[in-house]
């Protein structure tokens, strides 16, 4: 009898040893998860999604930046490795949009003396996107479906005038000290630092890696420089590593950047809408410009400067500018295969 009493005392969840057996439904407070299959999994997904979002949003802020690029492996016997490239600057990154599954960050460069502000590149992040823009041939980008979407963030990077440059897709990995996003292989056009001085290649095959650290964040690039004919690879000439180091700073005056953006952000929103509408209409876009794209960059920045001074730019003027320098991509044979994570 004593053993029986001890047993009853040690199992309080049964309430009483003599009580009738109850179903799991009768014990709802203790076994609530039984009636909600997948609840823990969904909670974990939401938690990881928020960690991803916070990692992306943490790239906003004020930075001193080093940009470094160095060719490593020579892939053509007659090719001469080029000198390494390095530059630096002061850059603030502002959040343009955040609707949960889509985030947009605008980079603004400020000269050391604060006299000049340059609207720099933009990065958009899409959670579980169905498709993405791909650099398919010279001055041309096409929408392509994504084969893998679950838990994947697609980052799309845009030129100073919001023209597309490249997209990559991958998942965030979070550790105790750092969070890292690594893309699949994707295509991108020549960087501005190169296309003004060389024409021996016309595309980069790249993997991008963003890492959030205690002092800021980094952008690593694994680049292969290639010559393409349309989407067909002719030959590769060299591999290159890139390392862009964004270090948070205090004491630098970024007010000129914030003033510029406050005055012009609505104009640049209209520019983004022009790009988005034309890309959606043609399932991609092509430029009627030289490789540099300056024929479109210059008038858009001139219009932005007019807006900064308080002038208005009509929708008709903006539309005419885009109609002159952009077009729908020419028709090609069906693309073989979806973009995939490598």
Residue 337 maps to a domain: no
pLDDT digits (tens, 9 = 90+) for 231-271: 999 999 999 999 999 999 999 999 999 999 999 999 999 99
The reply to whether 67 falls in a domain is yes
Q: Quick one: pLDDT at residue 212?
A: 98
User: Does some domain include residue 185?
Assistant: yes
Give a yes or no: residue 224 inside a domain: yes
Name the nearest CA neighbour of 155 among 118, 109, 194, 186. Answer: 186
* Euclidean distance between CA atoms 54 and 280, whole angstroms: 29
pLDDT reading at 33 higher than 60: no
CATH number at residue 142: 2.40.128
User: What are the tens digits of pLDDT across the range 273-303?
Assistant: 999 999 999 999 999 999 999 999 999 999 9
Residue at 61 is within a domain: yes
Please indicate, yes or no, if residue 21 is contained in any of the structural domains: no
Contact by Cβ (8 Å): 148, 340: yes
Residue 320 belongs to a domain: no
Q: Say how many C-beta atoms besides its own lie within 10 A of residue 147's C-beta.
A: 11
pLDDT attached to residue 43: 84
pLDDT score of 7 more than 70: no
pLDDT of residue 41: 72
* Domain assignment present for 90: yes
Which of 262, 339, 305 has the alpha carbon at shortest distance from 92? Answer: 262
**Contact of 72 with 241, CB cutoff 8 Å:** yes
Nearest to 90, CA basis, from 106, 111, 59, 119: 111
Which domain, by its residues, includes 152? 46-251
Number of domains in the chain: 1
Q: Model confidence at 6, in pLDDT bands (50, 70, 90)? A: very low
pLDDT at 42 over 50: yes
Residue 332 has pLDDT above 80, yes or no: no
């Amino acid at each position: 009898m004593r053993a029986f009493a001890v047993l009853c005392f040690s199992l309080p969840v049964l309430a009483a040893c003599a009580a009738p057996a109850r179903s799991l439904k009768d014990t709802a407070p203790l076994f609530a998860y039984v009636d909600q299959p997948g609840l823990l999994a969904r909670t974990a997904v939401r938690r990881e999604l928020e960690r991803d979002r916070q990692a992306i949003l943490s790239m906003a802020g004020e930075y001193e930046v080093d940009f470094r690029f160095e060719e490593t492996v020579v892939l053509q016997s007659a090719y001469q490795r080029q000198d390494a490239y390095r530059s630096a600057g002061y850059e603030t990154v502002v959040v343009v949009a955040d609707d949960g599954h889509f985030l947009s960050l605008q980079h603004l460069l400020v000269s050391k003396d604060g006299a000049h502000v340059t609207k720099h590149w933009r990065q958009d992040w899409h959670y579980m996107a169905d498709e993405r823009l791909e650099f398919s041939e010279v001055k041309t980008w096409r929408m392509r479906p994504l084969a893998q979407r679950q838990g994947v963030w697609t980052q799309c990077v845009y030129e100073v005038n919001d023209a597309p440059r490249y997209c990559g897709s991958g998942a965030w990995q979070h550790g105790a000290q750092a969070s890292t996003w690594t893309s699949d292989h994707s295509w991108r056009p020549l960087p501005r630092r190169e296309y003004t001085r060389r024409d021996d290649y016309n595309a980069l095959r790249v993997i991008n890696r963003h890492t959030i650290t205690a002092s800021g964040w980094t952008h690593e690039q694994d680049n292969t420089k290639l010559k393409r004919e349309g989407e067909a690879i002719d030959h590769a000439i060299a591999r290159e590593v890139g390392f862009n180091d964004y270090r948070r700073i205090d004491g630098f005056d970024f007010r000129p950047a914030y003033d510029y953006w406050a005055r012009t952000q609505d104009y640049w929103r209209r520019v983004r809408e022009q790009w988005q509408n034309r890309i959606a209409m043609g399932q991609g876009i092509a430029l009627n410009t030289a490789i540099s794209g300056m024929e479109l960059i210059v008038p858009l920045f001139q219009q932005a400067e007019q807006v900064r001074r308080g002038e208005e730019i009509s929708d008709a003027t903006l539309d005419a500018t885009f109609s002159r320098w952009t077009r729908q991509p020419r028709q090609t044979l069906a693309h073989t295969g979806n973009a995939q994570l490598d």
